[in-house]
Structure 1
């Protein structure tokens, strides 16, 4: 019997995408932030983006290759801003501010239609709810959940930036299960990627791995072994309710 539903954040509970405009926006805002805090890069926007993007690529290669996550105060001086002659201690001091700015500027985010109603229905039917999210910010997921007005639906929010593990590493799922006092076989996990969400849930022997596709799905899943497939694919969050009810023999 499934009694607990855990959700991914970006691409699942919320629509998320980026484009040339969001890249320009985050570049300008980061440059402005650094200048306001007396950290001058001496770079124009194009040069700044190219250098910071080099750092991002190096970090992603390490992070995704090991399924691990560093804290913002490690990521920004060691990777993202490593090509600039800046005071590393000062960069570390403001790293979470920049991480939060990045999360809501580089990515366009908006709550998927019908999410609040679906969460309400799941709670009313007795399901326990939580979040497991990969993020390089300590607080942005909590802030965004509050802004959407859905934070109180979740008993626990487990983040890679806090645990040090990135999906699909079993560590982040194990911590979430422990915090929720839940058994894997009694949980459903809902996410938008095979490479992080479905594989992670399958390896942990969750009762169900549900996929809802997003802008990020194809980008993150290139080259993923097709043996890892979701138990069910939905078009909208509300569609998971009848599926879970059917699994539980209540449909």
Structure 2
């Protein structure tokens, strides 16, 4: 019987997107933090952005290719800001600040409609609830859940930067299940991408996997070969629809 529902964060519980304005904003704020700590980029604004984004691309190539996540103190000096050759001793103490700044500024984030109602509905039915998220900041997911007022619903929050594994690596799902003390066949995972969320949950043996589309869905899933066994069990438009589907799939825990 299904008794646990685990959620992706960015693109699932929260709507997420970026554009030229958010990119420009994060670059300005990064430079301000660096300069406040005695680290001068020494280049034009355009060159700064190009060099940072090239470092991000290099990191994504390594991280996504290996399904691993480094810590902020490795990501920023060794990838994002590598070309600047900053004094590592000055940079290391601010890497988590930079990582969190990136997550909340490069991306526009807001809680999806109906999330709190969904959490109340799941709790009323007796489900265990948690989060499994890819995030290159150690604390961002925890902080954002607090800001949204939904942290207390979560029995566990498993983040790639803490575990070292990123979705779709099955180990990050297994770590979450160990911490939640649940079995994979009893779990439902809800995410916005097949390539990370659905495939990862299916390979970890989850009982069900549901997909909700986001800004990131198309770009992350493009060109990904998907086996029939790794397709979502349902594609939902909103969380009211998800709860109705869950009641049909698992009538034993539906409200009477």
TM-score range, shorter chain: over 0.9
Q: Partner of 2:129: helix, strand, or coil?
A: strand
**The 10-residue stretch of structure 1 (47-56 or 222-231) with the greater mean CA deviation from structure 2:** 222-231
TM-score by length of 1: 0.98
Q: Residues of 1 paired with 2:6 and 2:115: CA distance?
A: 14
Equivalent residues in 2 for 1:11-30, closer than 5 Å: 11-30=11-30
Q: Residues of 2 paired with 1:207 and 1:243: CA distance?
A: 14
Aligned residues: 251
Verify the 8 A CA contact 2:158 2:176 in the aligned structure 1. Answer: yes
Verify the 8 A CA contact 2:38 2:90 in the aligned structure 1. Answer: no
Aligned to 2:238: 236
**The 10-residue stretch of structure 1 (83-92 or 112-121) with the greater mean CA deviation from structure 2:** 83-92
Aligned to 2:31: 31
TM-score by length of 2: 0.96
Deviation at 1:42, TM superposition (A): 0.5
Deviation at 1:92, TM superposition (A): 1.6
Q: Residues of 2 paired with 1:166 and 1:90: CA distance?
A: 28
1:245 aligned to which of 234, 247, 250 = 247
Deviation at 1:238, TM superposition (A): 2.4
Matched, 1:46 2:46: yes
Q: Residues of 2 paired with 1:85 and 1:173: CA distance?
A: 36
Q: Residues of 1 paired with 2:28 and 2:245: CA distance?
A: 44
Verify the 8 A CA contact 1:41 1:85 in the aligned structure 2. Answer: no
Verify the 8 A CA contact 1:55 1:82 in the aligned structure 2. Answer: yes
* Structure 2 stretches lacking a partner, 5+ long: none
* Structure 1 stretches lacking a partner, 5+ long: none
Q: Partner of 1:83: helix, strand, or coil?
A: helix
Runs of at least 4 residues of structure 1 off by over 3 A? none
Q: Residues of 2 paired with 1:219 and 1:242: CA distance?
A: 29
Deviation at 1:73, TM superposition (A): 0.3
